[in-house]
Amino acid sequence: MKRIFTLCAALCTLMTGFGQVDSTAKKNEPDTIKVGGMVIIREKGDNDNDNDSGKSYDVNTHKYKKSLVSTNWVILDLGFSNYTDKTNYTAVQNSGVVDAGIGKDNMQLRTWKSRNVNIWLFMQRISLVKHYVNFKYGLGLELNNYFYDDRTIQFQKHPFHISQSYPPELKKNKLAADYITMPFMLNINFVPHKYRPYGISAGVSIGYLYSARQKIKDDDGNKTKVKGIDLDEWKLSYVGEVSLGVIKIYGSYAMESMFDHNMNITPWTVGLRFSNW
Task: Per-residue pLDDT tens, the chain, 277 aa: give them.
Answer: 555 455 455 545 544 554 454 444 445 555 666 555 555 666 555 555 555 444 555 555 444 467 899 999 999 999 999 999 999 999 999 999 999 889 999 999 999 999 999 999 999 999 999 999 999 999 999 999 999 998 889 998 888 999 987 666 678 899 999 999 999 999 999 999 888 899 999 999 999 999 999 999 887 788 889 999 999 999 999 999 999 999 999 999 999 999 988 899 999 999 999 998 8
Of 173, 154, 151, the closest CA to residue 162 belongs to 154
For 65, residues 6+ apart whose C-beta sits below 8 A from its C-beta are none
Contact 243, 202 (CB under 8 A): no
pTM, to two decimals: 0.75
Cα-flanking dihedrals φ and ψ of residue 28, to 5°?
Answer: -90, 0
Q: How far apart are CA 75 and CA 118, in angstroms?
A: 8
Cα angle: 192, vertex 195, 198; to 5 degrees: 55
CA–centroid distance for 43 within its chain: 48
